[in-house]
Amino acid sequence: MTVTSEADIAEQVKDAAAKGTAIRITGGGTRRNIGNHVDADASLSTSELSGVTLYEPGALTLVAKSGTPLSEVDALLAKEGQMLAFEPTDHRKLSGSNGATTLGGIVATNASGPRRIQAGACRDALLGVRFVDGEGTIVKNGGRVMKNVTGYDLVKLMSGAFGTLGVLTEVSFKVLPKPEATTTLIVEGLDMSDAQAVMSDALKTPYDVSGAAYDARKRQTFIRLEGFPQSVRYRANMLAKELKPSGPVDMLDGASIWQNITAFAFVDAVDGDIWQLSTQPTDGPKLIRTLMEQADVMPLMLDWSGGLVTLATPPGTDIRGIWRAHSQISGEACCIRGHADYFRQSASPLAALEAGLRKRFDPKGVLNPGVLG
């Protein structure tokens, strides 16, 4: 069912709670592969709940309804030389969807791209949210300026909750100026461990790195610098000198490299299931080696300096058991193309906390039940 107002959503959820039925929450349908399958009695789409309700470029603030397409927001911000700094990821290539990526879906999955290492994740750019909880109550938290709150920080909780705590109806973002210049340094021929070390070293420099990724198949390490043209040139030249002992260094704008990473273009012609694993950056290569020793695993991309690993496996391969056997490597794994379940390693206290929050905000289990396991 597609709704056109927050009041409609509240009525639908209230009715489902009274009947004890489950609802699958969708937006543009571009992230339907993420998370576990939801066995729901009905679906509720927020795609018609669309439109920017406030944009104040001088205050670096944007407020929009949850079904607003990302493309519409990007175009509006670009006119003022601004952007969503966390570089939202686009899962359409993985889901096979022609739908529009919506702000609600981005927030619900905390979909954050390469710039997360510098600007923070989606949840860090959120200023406020409006949503309908599992009992049909309309809730508002946060506002139009960044501030500390007491009690539940619902703004942060809703980002990455996969719709299990409430149906998002409106979101407020802090936006930032777009950089005037971009340079990407490419170090050739490193293996995963050496590449991770180079990315880590680059992030420790004073040169304000905004992207650090490694293409495992091409054995190319990407380091991005952004800002004012003269500053970028200086920082790129200085960093290139420091990176040269690690291998040959090329220097180019590289915008298409980062676009390909956010849109998952690097999975083209890759068969099987696609997994994303988040862990400590220094554990990324170690985790891949562990998995490769015991399963048919093909590493594709390391982002966030090794903290976000994308890899491919034959259809139906379950890597969770292998990971569980190595409890010293913590993190999360999600099959983003295929049919395996979402999985979190070594996080039973966190799982208990999440269960308590779901019981508080959705006591009858109406919203996306089981999507997070």
φ, ψ (nearest 5 deg) of residue 275: -115, 150
Q: Is 17 in a helix, a strand, or coil? A: helix
Tell me the two tokens of residue 155: 């703004």
Q: How many CB atoms lie under 10 A from the CB of residue 255?
A: 11
pTM of the model: 0.92
C-alpha to C-alpha distance for 256 and 319, rounded to whole angstroms = 31
Residue type, 332: E
Strand partners, 82: 177
Q: State the pLDDT at residue 337.
A: 86
- In this prediction, residue 149 carries a pLDDT of 42
Region class of 353: left (phi > 0), else alpha (psi between -120 and 50), else beta: alpha
The whole-angstrom separation of Cα 58 and Cα 123 is 21
Query: For the chain, which residues score pLDDT lower than 50?
Result: 145-150, 346
Gap between the Cα atoms of 196 and 220, Å rounded:
11
